[in-house]
Structure formats: structure tokens, C-alpha cells
Amino acid sequence: MRRGETSTFRFVLVSLCSNIKRAVILSEVWRALCAKRSRRTPRPLTPPNPSTFQPRHHEVDLQQSVCRYSIHVPRLPRSILALVILSLAAHAQIPKTYIGFDRNVYPGDTALPALRRHFDFTSFWLTNPPGSNRNTWTGKRAILAAQGFGFLALANGRTESQIKAGLTTPAAQGQKDATTAAASAQREGFPPHTLIFLDQEEGGRLTPEQSDYLFAWTETLAATGFRPGTYISGQPVPDGPGQTITTAQDIQQQVAARHLHPITLWVYQDTCPPSNGCVLTPPPLASSGTPSAEVWQYAQSPRRRANTAACAKTYAPDNNCYAPDPAIGHLILDLNVAATPDPSHGR
């Protein structure tokens, strides 16, 4: 094989594979064939060291496929091998995502099989949801897990007005609420290190009272052995002349400045675009506008008209997002996309 052909193909591989480890693996397969053509003995293909490289699920598939094909490299025509490598490179660049739903009211045991046909994970309230004096999710973790659902474990937070009206300091309220959420997670059987998301629905930069409450909650929860997360706004709002801020950005900045425990982000951003509305083909997680978000709620019920004019037709005439299967009934849902089928690691 000519040197120019080898260099060109290496360039293509590196361009296709954003992860340099994938590019090295694929390039080594091609090098093995080139070495045979020039009657040199190729160096063995060495997979990445497991102690330093922890692949995601699609990277495991890639490594196994490359190693399997490399065994037969001498027998493959050059054109076929090129197609194999290009196909593997394309596969490596498309991270798999998972879709889930959330709602305040438990959907009912009979709806679970039909919901599971469409969704990988579900919300799970550990406390009373906003505006409710009871929690219908209590005692339902086992049946949801048996159906194969992953979880978004969720605890209700306090609004700014509720924090200011409290009889104790914002920090004391946050500590109390975190202790309540952790105790509920233990009763429900969630394993240690489960991610619990604090529901904070007011957008924009946090006020001092909101900051004191939220970070007291996350620090207290981290001390219980569970991991803290927040459900917060990923929608930019004005923040001074010519500036915008999201609640997610504000939290990340404060965590870094104050050297606090990491907080996993579940962002809501239903504006179309980047959202594509009430559809079961979710947008890429990376399109949420919050690069570090682990979960993105891309459709809400009812829809916010100012945000969703471009995708209004994907919602029902009453402006809600409904479950797609007639067997489920008339269930109102919010839709989410995540990089894992169990975002809270609660199974």
C-alpha cells in the first residue's frame, strides 16, 4: 500500500472519531493490513488498559467489534475492511440516549407494562410533589424496578417565598429537608449513592436565600451517603446589560467557587428549538444548552406557549403532552432524555 493512502485513511479515521482512543484502535487495524501487504509482521492489537480507561456502553461494543474483526484482517479485501472501519467509526460517534417520563401522580400499576414499552426510566417522588398533600409514589419502587424502569429520584424543594416565610434560617430548612429526603430514600429501598434531585423550579440567578437553602440541602444530603442533584432551569434569562444566565450555570459557578460537593444537573429547557416538542424521538442530550447536564426535560405539560410555538403541533389541543399508547389511557407526561437508562442509579 502506498504511503499516501495510509496517511489519508488515518486522517479520515481521526476526523470521524472524536475520541482519540477510538482513532488509535481503528488505525491499528488498518496498520495491520498495511504491514501484511509490505510483508512486515504487525504489532499485536492491544486493547486499552482497563485500569485507566473505563469505556461507556457504546465504546465496549466498538472495542469488541474491532478486536473481533482484527483477527481476520489478513483475509479481508481492502475495500471491505475500509467499509467495516468506517461503519465502526460512525457507530462510535453516536452515543446512545434513553427516554423517560416524569409526573407528579403515580400512573397506576396497570399502566406500567405499556409505559415500559416506550420509556426507559421514570421519576420517583420521595416527598409530596409540589402542590400536593400526599405522595402516591410511596411503596412503588419495587414494582417499577420489576418492570425494568430506571429512576429519577426526586424531592420537593421550597420556593423563594416559602424559604423567606420559614420559621428558621434558609440553611436550617435545607438541612431538615435533605434529612427527610434521605430517610424516605432509605425506606423505599434505594441503594447508597443513589442520586436524589432537589426540585427547584424558579429560574434565573439564585437569590441569597435560595443559595443558602439549596447548598445546605446538597451538602447535608452528601453527608448521608446519597448523592445530590438538582432539577433546575437550563433556560437563559437576562442577567444585566447584554448578559444572560441560567440557574444551572449559577449553581455550577457557586459550587466551583465554594468548593462544594459536585451537584448533578437535571435541566428543564422546553424551548423549540433546541427541544423538538412532545415526541418520543428525543433531541440529543448535548443540545440542551447545558453541556454538563445528565438529564434534560425537553417537553412539559402544559406547554409554555411562548417557548413552544415552533413545536405546538406536537402537543395535544389542550396543550398537554400525553402518553403515546392508547392502552395507557389519558396520562399527562413530561418527557426527558438521559445518557443512562437509570439516571439516579437507583436500581
What are the chain's domains?
A: 3-92 (no CATH), 98-338 (3.20.20.80)
pLDDT over 70 percentage in the chain: 73
Average pLDDT over residues 333-344: 97
Q: What is the Cα–Cα distance from 112 to 201, expressed in whole angstroms? A: 27
Express each pLDDT in 105-155 by its tens digit: 999 999 999 999 999 999 999 999 998 999 999 999 999 999 999 999 999
- What's the half-sphere exposure (Cβ side, CA atoms, 13 Å) at 313? 1
* pLDDT beyond 50 at 156: yes
The pLDDT confidence band at residue 159, using thresholds 50, 70 and 90, is very high
Report how many helices (DSSP H) and strands (DSSP E) the chain contains, helices first.
11, 10
* pLDDT beyond 90 at 324: no
Q: What is the Cα–Cα distance from 199 to 231, expressed in whole angstroms? A: 5
Express each pLDDT in 54-82 by its tens digit: 433 333 344 444 444 444 444 445 555 55
pTM of the model: 0.74
* Strand positions, DSSP E, the chain: 98-102, 121-125, 150-156, 195-199, 227-233, 237-238, 244-245, 264-268, 295-299, 334-338
Residue owning grid cell 451537584: 263
Average predicted confidence (pLDDT) for the chain:
81
Q: Which three cell numbers stand for residue 123?
A: 421519576
Q: What is the Cα–Cα distance from 152 to 263, expressed in whole angstroms? A: 14
DSSP, res 261: P
